[in-house]
A and B are shown apart, each in its own frame.
Chain A
Amino acid sequence: MPQHTTGEPDKMPVDVPADVAPADVDPLVQLVSPTGERVVEPDNATYRSRVDHLTSEDLRALYRDMVLTRRFDDEATALQRQGELALYAQGRGQEAAQVGSAYALSPQDYVFPSYREHGVLQARGVDPVDRLRLYRGEDHGGWDPNEHNVHLYTLVIGSHVLHATGYAMGVQRDGAVGTGDAARDAAVVTYFGDGATSQGDVSEALVFAAVNNAPVVFFLQNNQWAISEPTSRQSRAPLYQRGEGFGIPSVRVDGNDVLACYAVTAEALERARSGGGPTFVEAYTYRMGAHTTSDDPSRYRARAEEDHWARRDPIDRLAALLRAEGAWDDGWAAGIEREADALGERLRTEVRELGAPPATAMFEHVYATEHAQVQAERAWFEQYENETNETTGAAR
């Protein structure tokens, strides 16, 4: 199914069945092969130089966050199956794209995620329980965006890509671009998927970012599937070329190669922070799980394809690299597993303990200032509740 290979767009089949494993794509920035060897080629020298400084300790830190993200995914999926979450959007298979890119961020950079970026949140330190409040139905957000410079999840596909662009335009106006001060210069990264590239808002964001030279990195995770629609239903041309059409430097990276994802993001962020403007990154990866817990991928995609990508598991790849470079230690790895077990235990306990907010919370923060309609309806509701409680003796 070579629909993602390069070449003339008019030669590309657009309606191939999704029952064959996709072929490798080219060009593709790759620093670690699926079997865990460093890829050394003349045309990835720039990116190789971006990871030269990473120590074994750094690689193990990446591995840790990827494993914890995977465990978070499994636990959240189980909690949904037990009726503790209304829904959950699985990120399995995208840990390298998310953790790798997030590792390139500075504290002052800002992230606008979609709703599947659990690995980005893990790397940014957003509390795991807070990450599930939205899916629990306890909160529409769940964390303080300004605590970790991570905006709330956005469920309307592509809308937040414009917010990221506007935020970056604000960063420009604050004079926080191109000063050369590494603690001051800032950039914005926004995450979205292959389905989102069809949204007008994403194209408009590319227009605004390009003409304003905004310090924003468009990080597309092409996980091959927008619920049931393969990427061939979103685009005839390879998606990384989308940025180029807007005059934005664009690159396609192996999204299951954590070092490559780190490297391309680091390069893009440096361009943005130094005043070089936006970059478009396509991380070529795979959604190993379902779209959400409400989805059944067996309806639309073949087991052979899933098996193909299972052999390209990003966590296995990093583990192989660590082993190949003598950075693996069984005791250390067992420690990560224990940490993952503890995370699971905490989620199972604390997510279950998340109760419903008080009913009157639905009237709070509709407006930042008093609004007569909300006030009147809240007053009515409170009186109604009180009268009902007096009649029934019920707590609510």
Chain B
Amino acid sequence: MTSATPQTLTFARAITEGLRSALESDGKVLVMGEDVGRNGGVFRVTDGLQKDFGEDRVVDTPLAESGIVGTAIGMALRGYRPVCEIQFDGFVFPAYDQITTQLAKMHYRSRGRLQVPVVIRIPYGGGIGAVEHHSESPEALFAHTPGLRVVSPSTPQDAYDMIRAAVASPDPVLFFEPKGRYWSKGEVTTSPYPTVAAAGGADVLNRARVARQGTDVTLVAYGPTVATALKAADTLAAEGTSAEVVDLRAISPLDVTAVAESVKRTGRCVVVHEAPTFLGSGAEVAARVSEECFYSLEAPVLRVGGFHAPYPVAKLEHEYLPSVDRVVDAVDRVLAH
């Protein structure tokens, strides 16, 4: 896929093509995880890659998440760039120790002598009617750990660009894929594979994106809730309210500048994510907005997200997840000030 002509791809396929591009461009890139090889991943994101790049580069691993990340660290120390797939969000925790105590700190504790360019792909979020542990949003747990980059794309184009920048980046990247968006489609324009020097500072890993311009309120979202925010903006537009939608792309680093720039214009801010709001990334956004935009704010920052309850049974997930109605309700409340 080298054409600069946009192609219409599903979100999942955009990641596949991004991985394919990384595997083609850099012989040190590896894909590893459970069922990623012959089966192409349970979401088919790695479909066809083992056939094209072989079993040594697209590796079916034993069913052990800590082992996947721990061996990926070792391979990175040998000069490889492993891309690990954790099959579902709720299964990342066996690897939590390796990610937070080892992966995040290796560069630091070696005073920069070692790099561990490991990417950990995690299909996350709900809305697909799944069973327990298959719908969670643990991104804040990782963003709280210095040394990790934490990102989540919201469009096929960003998915393609961000996975390639993540793989080329010299830092470890937690790559959260909104699984509820896997089958959404969008136009994807390909581009040359980024250099290592360019990848770490790439906008797609560091800068928020204005997904829709507006003047009355800023909706801050990332990953799966960008679509929710955009639908809410449509509804609000019909009611005469102009909502700006800022897609963070990255939770770490958080693009406070972009958010503040928007909120200073609109005076109002609502943060939307699927993770529980309590100590979630929205809490950090709210704190930073209060610091940066205090004299521009017309209303307190509100958060719309998951409740402080374990992700519920599938039959209740639509009441749990931040819906368009709940976003509109929050906007109504900030406008009431």
Taking Cβ atoms with an 8 Å cutoff, the residues of A that contact B are 112, 139-141, 144-146, 151-152, 154, 156, 159, 161-171, 173-174, 200-201, 204-205, 207-208, 211, 364-374, 376
The reply to whether the CB of B114 lies closer than 8 angstroms to some CB of chain A is: yes
Q: How far is the CB of B120 from chain A (nearest CB, A)?
A: 14
Is there an interface contact between B75 and A140, defined as CB atoms closer than 8 Å? no
Q: How many residues on chain B are close to A (CB under 8 Å)?
A: 50
Q: How far is the CB of B220 from chain A (nearest CB, A)?
A: 16
Contacts of A144 in B (CB 8 A): 113
Is there an interface contact between B67 and A140, defined as CB atoms closer than 8 Å? no
Is there an interface contact between B78 and A162, defined as CB atoms closer than 8 Å? no
Instruction: Give 1 or 0 for each of B219-252: 1 = CB within 8 Å of chain A CB.
Output: 0000000000000000000000000000000001
The reply to whether the CB of B10 lies closer than 8 angstroms to some CB of chain A is: no
With both beta carbons as reference points, the residue of chain A lying nearest to B94 in the complex is identified as: A200
Q: How far is the CB of B172 from chain A (nearest CB, A)?
A: 9
The reply to whether the CB of B149 lies closer than 8 angstroms to some CB of chain A is: yes
> Which 8 pairs from chain A and chain B are nearest by CB?
A166-B74, A162-B70, A369-B200, A170-B78, A166-B71, A204-B67, A140-B109, A368-B170
15 A-B pairs in the complex with CB atoms less than 8 angstroms apart: A139-B111, A145-B77, A151-B77, A159-B97, A159-B102, A162-B67, A167-B78, A170-B74, A200-B66, A204-B64, A204-B67, A364-B112, A365-B108, A368-B169, A371-B171
CA distance A173 to B72 in the complex (A): 13
The reply to whether the CB of B211 lies closer than 8 angstroms to some CB of chain A is: no
Is there an interface contact between B256 and A367, defined as CB atoms closer than 8 Å? no
Q: CB < 8 Å: which of A163, A211, A369 contacts B70?
A: A163
Q: How far is the CB of B283 from chain A (nearest CB, A)?
A: 15
Is there an interface contact between B111 and A369, defined as CB atoms closer than 8 Å? no
CA distance A168 to B73 in the complex (A): 11
Q: How far is the CB of A360 from chain B (nearest CB, A)?
A: 13
Residues A141 and B110 in contact in the complex (CB < 8 Å), given A162-B70, A162-B73, A373-B254: yes
Is there an interface contact between A201 and B67, defined as CB atoms closer than 8 Å? yes
Instruction: Give 1 or 0 for each of B9-39: 1 = CB within 8 Å of chain A CB.
Output: 0000000000000000000001000000000
CA distance A154 to B71 in the complex (A): 15
Contacts of B253 in A (CB 8 A): 371-373
Q: CB < 8 Å: which of A165, A204, A368 contacts B112?
A: A368
Contacts of A204 in B (CB 8 A): 62, 64, 66-67, 70
Q: CB < 8 Å: which of A159, A167, A372 contacts B101?
A: A159
The reply to whether the CB of B164 lies closer than 8 angstroms to some CB of chain A is: no
Contacts of A365 in B (CB 8 A): 107-108, 110-112
Contacts of A159 in B (CB 8 A): 70, 97-98, 101-102
Contacts of B70 in A (CB 8 A): 159, 161-163, 165-166, 201, 204-205
The reply to whether the CB of B294 lies closer than 8 angstroms to some CB of chain A is: no
Taking Cβ atoms with an 8 Å cutoff, the residues of B that contact A are 30, 56, 61-62, 64, 66-67, 69-80, 94, 97-98, 101-102, 105, 107-115, 146-147, 149, 169-171, 199-201, 206, 252-257
Contacts of B69 in A (CB 8 A): 162
Residues A140 and B73 in contact in the complex (CB < 8 Å), given A207-B64, A371-B149: no
With both beta carbons as reference points, the residue of chain B lying nearest to A163 in the complex is identified as: B74
With both beta carbons as reference points, the residue of chain A lying nearest to B143 in the complex is identified as: A373
Is there an interface contact between A207 and B62, defined as CB atoms closer than 8 Å? yes
Is there an interface contact between A171 and B78, defined as CB atoms closer than 8 Å? yes
Contacts of B109 in A (CB 8 A): 140-141, 152
CA distance A169 to B98 in the complex (A): 18
Q: How far is the CB of B77 from chain A (nearest CB, A)?
A: 5
Is there an interface contact between B62 and A211, defined as CB atoms closer than 8 Å? yes
Q: How far is the CB of B208 from chain A (nearest CB, A)?
A: 11
Q: How far is the CB of B281 from chain A (nearest CB, A)?
A: 12
With both beta carbons as reference points, the residue of chain B lying nearest to A160 in the complex is identified as: B102
Contacts of B64 in A (CB 8 A): 204, 207-208
Is there an interface contact between B254 and A367, defined as CB atoms closer than 8 Å? no
Contacts of A166 in B (CB 8 A): 70-78
Q: CB < 8 Å: which of B61, B72, B75, B200 contacts A368?
A: B200
Contacts of A364 in B (CB 8 A): 111-112
Is there an interface contact between B256 and A372, defined as CB atoms closer than 8 Å? yes
Contacts of A154 in B (CB 8 A): 102
Residues A169 and B71 in contact in the complex (CB < 8 Å), given A140-B109, A162-B98, A163-B77: yes
Q: How far is the CB of B309 from chain A (nearest CB, A)?
A: 29
Contacts of A372 in B (CB 8 A): 206, 253-257
CA distance A114 to B172 in the complex (A): 23
Q: How far is the CB of B54 from chain A (nearest CB, A)?
A: 10
CA distance A167 to B102 in the complex (A): 14
Q: CB < 8 Å: which of B77, B79, B169 contacts A369?
A: B169
Q: How far is the CB of B33 from chain A (nearest CB, A)?
A: 13
Contacts of B171 in A (CB 8 A): 367-369, 371
Contacts of B75 in A (CB 8 A): 166-167, 169-170, 173
Q: How far is the CB of A371 from chain B (nearest CB, A)?
A: 5
Contacts of A167 in B (CB 8 A): 74-75, 77-78
Is there an interface contact between A156 and B77, defined as CB atoms closer than 8 Å? no
Contacts of B114 in A (CB 8 A): 145, 152
With both beta carbons as reference points, the residue of chain A lying nearest to B117 in the complex is identified as: A368
CA distance A367 to B201 in the complex (A): 11
Is there an interface contact between A367 and B147, defined as CB atoms closer than 8 Å? yes
Q: How far is the CB of A131 from chain B (nearest CB, A)?
A: 15
Is there an interface contact between A369 and B113, defined as CB atoms closer than 8 Å? no
Q: CB < 8 Å: which of A146, A169, A174 contacts B74?
A: A169
Is there an interface contact between A369 and B61, defined as CB atoms closer than 8 Å? no
Is there an interface contact between A370 and B200, defined as CB atoms closer than 8 Å? yes
CA distance A156 to B30 in the complex (A): 26
Q: CB < 8 Å: which of B74, B80, B110, B149 contacts A367?
A: B149
